[in-house]
A = this chain, B = another copy of it.
Amino acid sequence: MSEKILIFDSTLRDGAQAEGISFSVEDKMRVMETLDKIGVDYIEAGNPGSNPKDIEFFNRIKGLQLKHAKLVAFGSTRRGGISVEEDANLKAILETQTPAVAIFGKSWTFHITDIIKTTLEENLRMIEDTMAYLKAMGKEVTFDAEHFFDGYKADPVYAIEALLAAQAGGADCLALCDTNGGALPFEIAEIVKDVRKKLAIPLGIHCHNDSGMAVANSIMAVQAGVRQVQGTFLGYGERCGNANLASIIPNLQLKMGYHCLASEELLKLTSSAIRIAEISNYVLSGREPFVGKSAFAHKGGMHIDAVMKNPQSFEHIPPEAVGNERRILMSEVSGRSTIIQLINEVDPSLTKKSEETTRVMDRIKELEYQGYQFEGAESSVKLLILKELGKYKPFFTLEDFKTIGEQPHHKEALSSSAVVKINVDGQSEINAAEGDGPVNALDKALRKALEVFYPNIRDVRLTDFKVRVIDSKSATASKVRVLIESSDGQDIWSNVGVSTDIIEASLIALIDSIEYKLLNDMERQSDSR
């Protein structure tokens, strides 16, 4: 049996202090459910003593039995000069009725004398009293030693005394906090080792990412002996954020042999990350370790060749282990190995050395030189291959279009209209639409005209639309690259267009998108025959 590391998630408390995050009670419910499902051990749900919105959430979840996790209420030691029974903050914590609590207290002398302005002795009493009181109330208590590493560096004797006070009060776990995120990994290792010698109860670690090392600092602390890791699921938190549990968990479990989550739950790591990012209204960075879209995406030609021979050559873990997937990207630095897979879908007889493969590669290079970028636009590549191999019969031709933009006289009116004329097998169709801007108007007019011939176009909707200015030196006449994502409810596909004219770039991508849909429908029909 591998040793258990307790995972303590503070997305709903420390995460909520991140710039740009504002959870509704409903959001908090969904985050809590997601965390419980994947099997974290503690969910710190808020600070009832300081935040009225948190009290609302605690009322909502009062008495709730989760599948696995323990709910935790967060707050501080009693204030100086009063008794624990008089403390409004502790009262609020007890009212939440959570089985566990996390109580922060001071261990850095500077914070005691200069910020909360009490005596070093009273601070120790505040810690011990608060622990003893909450233990007497039947709580599982974690003491968060705020600024512990800064405190230890300034006055190691006092910092340890603060921990001893918590131990004397009966705390179940002492979490050492790098509150300002300034500690370095070798400092963490050394200090944790010293603390372990002087204290008898389990230790925890709580890191912030201001130095870009919160994940590594947490790992170093575990290696030095801590058994509870605090963080937020995606690293959201004040300033540069907290330690990212979605990185820490797979490092501990897949590389260091500790047990954090049931291994079948680890497979949900990527989907849980996407879900929590969604609820938090953040775009999950593609570069996010383990769970990002690019985490196992290969672009360099040599890398792609090697990964095809053996994925271990350029992957530190198998992507499936965390529910992610390998992706091979198209690009000027990638090679024939990528393209040949797509070419073989169209014509299995061709090889890397075929003259047709060279032609396709040349065409892709030429377009990339013009500013195209085919990563994430695999369906545009497929159309390109069909065209280069002479296997493509267009479903329609765009004969003519006009767009007209006007400053609308009424606030409610749409500013643009478009006229589109298409031709399908010699038969012309002209139609028009109004829209919010010329691209939107053209999109609508084109679909209206096409629906006469291809009624299934009606199911297609654009799900994403991205514009990038490629060379911004020439300002309003710069080249733009438009990337659109479409869906018909069954599939999702992406297309790209490049031009100095945003309308033309959009049209190229729109037409590709529609062609791809029609092609796919045709293939599906012939498959089912």
- Contact check, A315 vs B180: say whether CB atoms are below 8 A apart: yes
Within 8 A of B (CB), among A486-529: 499-504, 506
Q: Name the distance in Å between A187's Cβ and chain B's nearest Cβ.
A: 9
Provide the residues of chain B in CB contact with A110, threshold 8 Å: 310, 312-313
The answer, yes or no, to whether A165 is at the interface (CB within 8 Å) is no
A210 and B290 CA atoms in complex are apart in Å by 7
Which of B290, B302, B402 interacts with A406 by CB under 8 Å? B402
- Contact check, A502 vs B501: say whether CB atoms are below 8 A apart: no
Q: Given A182-B316, A501-B436, does the pair A286, B20 have CB atoms closer than 8 Å?
A: yes
Least CB separation from A279: chain B residue: B472
A31 and B407 CA atoms in complex are apart in Å by 40
Proximity string of chain A (250-267) to chain B, C-beta cutoff 8 Å, 1 when within and 0 when not: 010001100000000000
The answer, yes or no, to whether A464 is at the interface (CB within 8 Å) is yes
Least CB separation from A444: chain B residue: B476
A194 and B478 CA atoms in complex are apart in Å by 53
Which of B223, B468, B506 interacts with A281 by CB under 8 Å? B468
Interface 9-mer from A91-99, A122-130, A291-299: A291-299
- Contact check, A298 vs B503: say whether CB atoms are below 8 A apart: no
- Contact check, B212 vs A247: say whether CB atoms are below 8 A apart: yes
Provide the residues of chain B in CB contact with A400, threshold 8 Å: 406-407
- Contact check, A437 vs B503: say whether CB atoms are below 8 A apart: yes
- Contact check, B405 vs A184: say whether CB atoms are below 8 A apart: no
Least CB separation from A303: chain B residue: B238
Which of B185, B298, B333, B375 interacts with A239 by CB under 8 Å? B298
Within 8 A of B (CB), among A465-493: 465-473, 475-478, 480, 484
Provide the residues of chain B in CB contact with A26, threshold 8 Å: 471, 473
Q: Given A216-B217, A219-B213, does the pair A438, B180 have CB atoms closer than 8 Å?
A: no
A240 and B415 CA atoms in complex are apart in Å by 42
Which of B50, B403, B468 interacts with A333 by CB under 8 Å? B50
- Contact check, A437 vs B19: say whether CB atoms are below 8 A apart: no
Q: Name the distance in Å between A51's Cβ and chain B's nearest Cβ.
A: 6
The answer, yes or no, to whether A244 is at the interface (CB within 8 Å) is yes
Provide the residues of chain B in CB contact with A286, threshold 8 Å: 19-20
Least CB separation from A243: chain B residue: B212
The answer, yes or no, to whether A332 is at the interface (CB within 8 Å) is yes
- Contact check, B20 vs A306: say whether CB atoms are below 8 A apart: no
- Contact check, B24 vs A470: say whether CB atoms are below 8 A apart: yes
Least CB separation from A486: chain B residue: B475
Which of B19, B310, B376 interacts with A375 by CB under 8 Å? B19
- Contact check, B313 vs A111: say whether CB atoms are below 8 A apart: yes
Which of B51, B180, B219, B294 interacts with A240 by CB under 8 Å? B294
- Contact check, A405 vs B407: say whether CB atoms are below 8 A apart: no
- Contact check, A180 vs B314: say whether CB atoms are below 8 A apart: yes
Least CB separation from A462: chain B residue: B475
Least CB separation from A224: chain B residue: B186
The answer, yes or no, to whether A4 is at the interface (CB within 8 Å) is no
* A-B pairs with beta carbons under 8 Å apart, 22 shown: A19-B293, A19-B329, A47-B333, A51-B333, A52-B332, A52-B365, A111-B306, A185-B185, A185-B220, A213-B213, A239-B295, A239-B314, A240-B292, A281-B469, A401-B407, A404-B404, A437-B504, A439-B476, A439-B502, A465-B472, A466-B472, A467-B480
- With A22-B373, A110-B313, A111-B306 given, can you name 14 additional A-B contacts, CB distance below 8 Å? A20-B294, A115-B309, A181-B289, A186-B189, A213-B213, A213-B251, A239-B287, A240-B295, A401-B407, A404-B404, A436-B501, A440-B500, A463-B475, A467-B502
Which positions in A face B, CB cutoff 8 Å? Answer: 16-20, 22, 24, 26-27, 47, 50-53, 110-111, 114-115, 179-182, 184-186, 189, 209-213, 215-217, 219-220, 223, 235-236, 238-241, 244, 247-248, 251, 255-256, 281, 285-290, 292-303, 305-306, 309-310, 312-317, 329, 331-333, 365, 368-369, 371, 373, 375-376, 398, 400-407, 415-416, 435-440, 443, 461-473, 475-478, 480, 484, 499-504, 506
